[in-house]
Amino acid sequence: MAQEMTGKVVIVTGAGGNLGSAVARRFAAAGAALVLVERDAALLAELAAELGGLAAAADVTDPASVDALVARVEAERGRIDGLVHTVGGFAAGQPVHAGDLEVWDRMMNLNARSVYITAGRVARHLVERQAAGRIVAILARNAFKGTARAAAYSASKAAAQRVIESMAAELGGLGIGVNGIAPSTVDTPANRASMPNADFSKWVQPAEIAEAALFLASDAASAINGVTLEVYARA
């Protein structure tokens, strides 16, 4: 896969993060015209200077902000061909019986609401223009099974997965592919700091997730819709 995304306008959310920047670099290498999205535009300055493309500040949990983003991309780039939504986060909480609703609300907002709004708004753009496109959301292995003290995180990722599957059922007949990627633990500085005794060699690399995202966003995956691709490395 060398230049298979040439000429395609691809939005990458969370582009200032470890995973988002890896995705952005891989898509840039494949020739994509990038739209780099972060809540804090200052985080994008260096990446935008390196890769080019359009740097845009947006809050992916706010419908009005995402609507403004989509309108800007259409005005300045003329089209949208793909979305890779990397925004998400983890927060451990108390057991469910302790009633830690602050963590619940934060996880549902960041991991589920952001997918519902961002993927939904990009899909609306494509449907209204009768355009084909590809939508990829980064999920997590916890979407499949809950773990102790992570009920909010697991539920939010499961909710995001259901959103992606539902969108795939709604849009597949319109030439819009919607898929997810569920990594195991991603090898990032933050995860290493929080789990210093773990075997990092078993963790999945951001570049490996980026490669999977590129495949799902490319024409090579045109017959794939509604799947959650498991990228676990050796974890």
Catalytic residues: 153
- Give, rounded to a whole angstrom, the gap between the first and last alpha carbons of the chain: 26
Question: Residue 104 in contact with residue 68, Cβ under 8 Å?
Answer: no
- Alpha carbons 64 and 72: distance in angstroms, whole number: 12
Question: Residue 6 in contact with residue 22, Cβ under 8 Å?
Answer: no
Give the Cα-Cα-Cα angle 41, 37, 150 (nearest 5 degrees): 105
Q: Which of 57, 167, 169 is nearest to 123 (CA)?
A: 167
**CA 213 distance to own-chain centroid:** 9
Both tokens assigned to 225: 């819709």
* Cβ neighbours for 142, distance < 8 A, ≥ 6 positions apart: 150, 153, 154, 157, 158
- Alpha carbons 43 and 16: distance in angstroms, whole number: 5
Neighbours of 42 (CB within 10 A): 10
What sign results for the dihedral spanned by CA atoms 224, 83, 230, 100? Answer: negative
